[in-house]
Homo-oligomer: A and B are copies of this chain.
Amino acid sequence: MTFKAIIKNKQNILYGVALAALLLLLKWLEWRFVIIDNAFEIYAGAIAVVFTGLGIWLALKLITPKVKTVVVEKQVFTGPVFVLNEAELNKLRLSSRELEVLQLMANGHSNQQIAERLFVSLNTIKTHTSNLFLKLEVERRTQAIEKAKRLSLIP
């Protein structure tokens, strides 16, 4: 039995000590009053009272509390951390270039501006957007943006 175990049984050891103390008290009382012979009944009564008290005290001390679990719902606002929905991205078979165009589109750029930024011709961007609309099953860039956001393809 290590120190830990001693600590664990601290309570029980305490009860033992308490009982021992009471017994000593009993002995002492015996010594003091045994002389008076007919004090026996009083003595017995005192023992009864004291030990009843001890029993009650013991019981109260030893009852393990009933655990009542209260679940409190705590609202946690998910931060605006964007996680790209790669599953959907693969399902729709969007190419990287198309996704790039989609992002710029969502940022409010015109096809011409996107073309300039990506150093390609306007017609190329038009092709990309057309394919994008086909894959996303929409017919306007605003719809594409709305759907892409909904599917977490863009922030």
**Could you tell me which A residues sit within 8 Å of B by CB distance?**
5, 8-9, 11-13, 15-16, 19, 22, 26, 30, 34, 40-41, 43-44, 47-60, 62-81, 105-110, 138, 140-147
Contacts and interface: CB of A to CB of B under 8 A. Distances in A.
Within the oligomer, what is the number of copies of this chain?
A: 2
**Is the contact region of chain A dominated by helix, strand, or loop, or is it mixed?**
helix
Given A52-B52, A63-B66, 11 more contacts: A11-B12, A12-B12, A15-B16, A19-B19, A48-B50, A66-B67, A67-B68, A72-B73, A74-B74, A105-B142, A108-B142
16 contacts: A5-B63, A11-B12, A30-B41, A48-B51, A51-B55, A52-B58, A54-B55, A56-B56, A56-B58, A63-B63, A75-B78, A106-B142, A107-B142, A108-B142, A142-B142, A142-B145
